[in-house]
Chains A and B, each alone.
Chain A
Amino acid sequence: MQGTPQPRATAASNQPGARAKAAGEDIWKNRTDKINAELFTLTYGSLVAQLVKDYEDYAEVNTQLDKMGYNIGTRLIEDFIAKSGLTKCGSFVETADVISKIGFKMYLGITPTITNISQDQKEFSLILEDNPLAEFVELPEDAVRDGLWYSNVLCGVLRGALEMVLLQVECNFVADVLRGDEVTEIRVRLVKVLDEEVPAADE
């Protein structure tokens, strides 16, 4: 993971999107230690099952997963910045690009598509074609009916990580193939840019 720092922009292209993509792929290939996704997927699955058993309430499980994700996100951002060597994004749209093409690529090996950017450029959607968390998963009917968002930890991670770089966002699932939707979609909305460096209390 150490390696010599490499220039962020590869010669491939001057397009910011393409540059992020190349950077993401480079980090994924050369600078991350990888593990078999099954271990991770199964661990997450048995955790969700345990939470369902403990709380007997799907809404509460969503909350717990989000909270957990937040705590993960606040730590993950350091790892992210250290590995990627990235500096501040110029705009929220650029942030979106970095999240999908570098962040997701680097940690989960996938690149969600960014769609539905709002007019004021403060909202966007991430479409996850291939969600590694949800492999081998089938939700029981009552979980679908009562609104379990199985991969909700991801929302917490995004929220926590972005808060550490002073972007307060709201983040939630709006569709999930596990629930019978066409696509898996996370909606991210920029609430405000924070101006102090003190993080909120760890939960």
Chain B
Amino acid sequence: MDASAANASTHFVCDSVMDLLLIETVALMSNSGTSTSGTLSTTGLTGDEDREAAYFKLEMLGYRVGMGLTEKATRDRPRFADNLEIVKFICKDFWLAVFNKQIDNLKTNHRGIYVLTDNNFRWFSRMSANSATETAQLAFPHAAFPCGLIRGALSALGVASVVIAEVSNTPQCTFQIKFRT
């Protein structure tokens, strides 16, 4: 973000509170389908459907956050010229604001598909399991929230999209954005 005047009034919190909140959020959403209390237990979903429901909810949480952040961040800037400009905004300004770094690599087929790669995705950086494949599997639910973040940010800028993550080689994470036209 540019204006240093705006930064002076910005509040900060320790990064570990965000990490801890996300860990518990993912756990809570993943368990809520099978919990015995609340209204959700009656739906009788299978494991796969549970996981999907949890993924969808986490994605929606991210969507709302991404939308709110972007609305505030872009309030005073001129309209973006095209979709590429918008994606560049995500790669630079948005990623900087959220993760203190930029996206490492951006690829596009010029037909509405963009692939963003973060080689050391912050929220995966301390994850590990017995094997690389297992780590990727366990990390996958944690990709729902950032996917939602991106989709929400894009939506705040007026473009509808589908965002999916590919997690195979943690801490690397790849986000694929497909614009709906």
Contacts and interface: CB of A to CB of B under 8 A. Distances in A.
Contact of A68 (B14, B17, B24): B24
> What's the interface size class on A, roughly?
20 to 34
B106 interface: no
Nearest to B98: A39
A135 interface: yes
A135 B38 CA distance: 28
Dominant SS at the B interface? Answer: helix
B69 A107 contact: no
Interface string A91-123: 000000000000000111100000000000000
Interface string B147-172: 00000000000000000000000000
Contact of A109 (B12, B21, B32): B12
A109 B13 contact: yes
Interface residues of B, number: 34
Contacts of A37: 10-13
Contacts of B28: 64, 68
A71 B21 CA distance: 10
Given A46-B61, A75-B20, A32 B14 contact: yes
Interface string B60-86: 110011001100100000000000000
Contact of A42 (B20, B27, B68): B68
B48 interface: no
Given A72-B21, A108-B17, A34 B12 contact: yes
A138 to B, nearest CB: 14
Interface stretch (A52-60, A141-149, A171-179): A52-60
Given A47-B25, A50-B60, A135-B11, A40 B18 contact: yes
A132 B14 contact: no
Contacts of B113: none
A158 interface: no
Given A46-B65, A47-B61, A50-B60, A35 B15 contact: yes
13 contacts: A38-B68, A40-B17, A43-B21, A44-B21, A46-B64, A68-B24, A71-B24, A72-B23, A75-B20, A75-B23, A107-B13, A108-B17, A109-B12
